[in-house]
Structures are given as C-alpha cells and as structure tokens.
C-alpha cells in the first residue's frame, strides 16, 4: 500500500463563546481556523487528520505547510509511521524544530494512523495499546463567562449534560485581590458541589509567588489541579509551586517535542503532564512522551482535539483525562459519545470519524 495523494482543505469554524468573554479578549476568539488533510492510498483507503491554529493571521501558512509536508509522503507506505514522521520532521531544520512544522505535521500523522487502523480493521484506541475503550473527559468550554451568575448556570448545565469534571479560568480577577479569585472559584463550587472535579487554568499568567499565595487560599476548594501557573520556561519556578502546594500542578501543553517535557518530569515540576498532540507533531511522538511520563509515574492529560485524543488517552495505562473542547466536533460524524463522564469509543477502524461534507462545504475557505 502506497500513499498517492494528499488533499488539504481549510475551514473557519464558529466558536460558542460568551459575549462577556469576547468583550475582554476580542473578536478573534469567535472562530477557529482548522486545516484538514485527507491522505489517500493506491488501495482506495483514505485517512483523515486535522490541525488548527489560534492565530488566524497564519492560517494560510499552516495550510501551505501541510501541503508541502504531504508531498513528502507520496509513494510511501503509511504503515511505516516512524519513517514518515522522520521524513516530515527531521530534515526540516530550517523551519523547525517545533512551531508551525509540528502543528502541520500533526494533521498528516493523525491521517496516517487513521489509515493504518482502517487497513488493519482496528480502532485507534486498540491499535495504540488498548488499555481501555473509554476515557474520562472534562468540560473545558462551559466556564468562560465573566459574569458570576452566568458562570454558575453554565456549571450546573454542564453537570446535567453528563460531565463529572470541568475547568475554570480566571476572569477579571486574574491579577486582582486573592479574595476575588477565591470568590469566583467558590461560586462554581456552590453550583456543582464537591462530587464534581474542578480544574483551574492560569495560562502562564502568574508568578510563582502569586500562585503559591492563591493556591494556598484555594486549598479548601479541593481543586483537581492548577494548570500552567507560571511562564512555560520557568520550570524552576513551577517546581517551587508544585513543592509548595497540596493541590496538584498540571502543565506541558505549551512545549514542543519531548525534551522540555522530560525537564518538567526530571525537576518534579508537574503532578500531571498535559501533552499537546499538535505541538508534538501527532500521535507518533505522543506515544513516546506518554511512555516517558509513565516511567516517572506521572499520568497524562490531553489538550484540545478530543475526537482523536480520546483514543490516545484511553489506549495508554497512564492516561488520565481528556480535555472536552468542542471546537472541531462539528466537522465530523461518529464522534465519541459522552456517557457518565467518559467518552466511549467505538469499534470503527481508525479514529472512527467521518467528515461531515455539509459542514466542510459551509465553512471551507480559499
């Protein structure tokens, strides 16, 4: 079996974002640019992968990179995933490592694994290890409002939809008095109680000292984790935070390739490792990073694209939880079903997703 063509399509998807958040962060948060790769073989099989950017000004650059990397795959065997990964990433030292190169390669690597699963008639979760056929998921999109009343209602609605965990981000209190941060977290706890797990995502915006202060003030709220508390490169500062707080620290999503994630593990700067599938270049590299974390006794969580990432987290013995971010699910039929807080995966081969051509036609650009 050989790859004979790669078709690349760009879509701009709408995002369901509260008006209060758009007012603070701007209209750029209202859409998500996604680049889709359809990799076809001489046997008629087709694998589908995708990637995205939160920088719409670079959408065309991302699409072009996917196209150019796709050309390197023509004539090669999709079962040789390591060979194809090497062909995309390792010779590209003038445009990498990391950055746009990895983000683009991820779309093709996902498609290749989809092809591999289809040819072997195996679902991706089983092909990658088969630890489970389901993965726990948290709602990462509900708690975005700046308004406390809206926030509490959204939290309650999330529980009704079947989530057993959800994530909160700071609002206008991000750099304000600690009492305001605590009040926002308490408001959500009042709506969901303590049987629902609650994460708190700082997005690299606090100093280690502030995170330790706030983290100690929040200890009675029993947070599941505090995420990305410090600047991504301040690993020593984050290690101080992790050593100072009883609340677990989760980070890693901002890092490209394995070495910086190894440093997080070596310096005990994380209790949970969050891995971005796109920044790692796809599933091929994710498997290695997940095994590396397992050696340290650290569980792995995911970042965005849950439709595919659920397979990766379910497949590994140290898979913790999937970020339920619905930015891309409208592109597909056959997305995993939410049941009692888990994404339940099917027996369909590959990642089991089929492109919704009506959605593609509606949102396609260029």
Rounded Cα gap, residues 239 and 241, in angstroms: 5
Please list, residue by residue across 22-54, b when 16 or more beta carbons sit within 10 angstroms of its beta carbon and e when fewer do.
Answer: beeeeeeeebbbbbbbbbbbeeebbbbbbbbbe
**For residues 106-118, b (16+ Cβ closer than 10 Å) or e, as one string?**
bbbbbbbbbbbbb
Backbone angles phi, psi at 339, to 5 degrees: -135, 115
User: In 10 A of CB 258, how many CB atoms?
Assistant: 15
Q: Are 111 and 54 in contact (CB under 8 A)?
A: no
How big is the CA angle at 348 (ends 122 and 287), to the nearest 5 degrees? 50
pLDDT at 92: 76
Query: How many whole angstroms separate alpha carbon 271 and alpha carbon 199?
Result: 13
Name which of 328, 245, 246 is nearest 48 in CA terms.
Answer: 328
Q: Are 154 and 184 in contact (CB under 8 A)?
A: no
Environment class of 219 (CB within 10 Å of its CB; exposed 0-12, middle 13-18, buried 19+): exposed
Q: Which residues pair with 136 in a beta bridge?
A: 342
Burial (CB < 10 A; 0-12, 13-18, 19+), residue 60, is: middle
Give the pLDDT of residue 349. 98
Residue 105: predicted pLDDT: 98
Instruction: Give 10-residue mean pLDDT values along the chain (366 residues).
Output: 98 89 79 97 98 95 97 98 95 85 98 98 98 98 93 97 97 94 97 98 98 98 98 97 98 97 98 98 98 98 98 98 97 98 98 98 94
How many residues are recorded in the chain?
366
DSSP codes of every residue in 227-271: E--S-TT-HHHHHHHHHH-SS-EEE-TT--SHHHHHHHHHTT--S
Domain ranges of the chain: 3-121+356-365, 125-355
CA distance 320 to 119: 29
Distance CA 85, CA 22 (A): 38
Backbone angles phi, psi at 25, to 5 degrees: -100, -10
Which tokens in the block code for residue 57?
């000004």
Given the candidates 3.30.1360.180, 3.30.70.2190, 3.30.390.10, 1.20.1300.10, the CATH classification of the domain at 3-121+356-365 is 3.30.390.10
Q: What is the CATH number of domain 125-355?
A: 3.20.20.120
- What is the H or E stretch that residue 71 is in? helix 59-71
Euclidean distance between CA atoms 107 and 281, whole angstroms: 8
**Which tokens belong to 6?**
């790669």
* DSSP conformation class of 23: H
Q: Are 13 and 326 in contact (CB under 8 A)?
A: no
């Amino acid at each position: 079996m050989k790859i004979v063509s790669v078709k690349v399509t760009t879509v701009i998807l709408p995002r369901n974002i509260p008006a209060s958040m758009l007012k603070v962060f701007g209209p750029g948060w209202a859409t998500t640019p996604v680049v889709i790769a359809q990799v076809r073989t001489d046997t008629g099989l087709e694998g589908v992968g995708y990637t995205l950017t939160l920088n719409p000004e670079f959408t065309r650059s991302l699409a072009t990179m996917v196209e150019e990397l796709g050309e390197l795959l023509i004539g090669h065997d999709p079962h040789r995933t390591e060979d194809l990964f090497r062909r995309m990433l390792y010779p590209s030292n003038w445009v990498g490592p990391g950055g746009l190169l990895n983000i683009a390669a991820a779309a093709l690597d996902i498609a290749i694994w989809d092809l591999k699963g289809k040819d072997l008639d195996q679902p991706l979760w089983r092909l990658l290890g088969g630890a489970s056929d389901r993965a726990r998921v948290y709602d990462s999109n509900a708690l975005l409002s700046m308004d406390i009343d809206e926030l509490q209602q959204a939290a309650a609605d999330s529980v009704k939809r079947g989530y057993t965990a959800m994530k909160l981000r700071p609002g206008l209190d991000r750099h304000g008095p600690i009492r305001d941060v605590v009040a926002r977290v308490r408001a959500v706890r009042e709506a969901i109680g303590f049987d629902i797990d609650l994460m708190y995502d700082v997005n690299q915006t606090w100093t280690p000292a502030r995170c330790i202060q706030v983290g100690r003030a929040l200890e009675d709220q029993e947070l599941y984790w505090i995420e990305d508390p410090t600047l991504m490169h301040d690993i020593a500062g984050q290690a101080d935070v992790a050593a100072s707080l009883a609340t677990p620290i989760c980070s890693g999503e901002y890092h490209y390739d394995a070495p910086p994630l190894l440093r997080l593990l070596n310096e005990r700067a994380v209790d949970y490792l969050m891995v971005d599938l796109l920044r790692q270049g796809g599933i091929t590299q994710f498997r290695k990073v997940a095994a590396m974390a397992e050696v340290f006794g650290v569980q792995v969580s995911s970042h965005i694209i849950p439709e595919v990432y659920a397979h990766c987290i379910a497949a590994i013995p140290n898979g913790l939880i999937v970020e339920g971010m619905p930015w891309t699910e409208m592109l597909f039929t056959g997305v995993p079903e939410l049941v009692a807080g888990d994404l339940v995966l099917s027996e369909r081969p590959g990642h089991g997703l089929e492109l919704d051509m009506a959605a593609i036609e509606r949102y396609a650009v260029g």
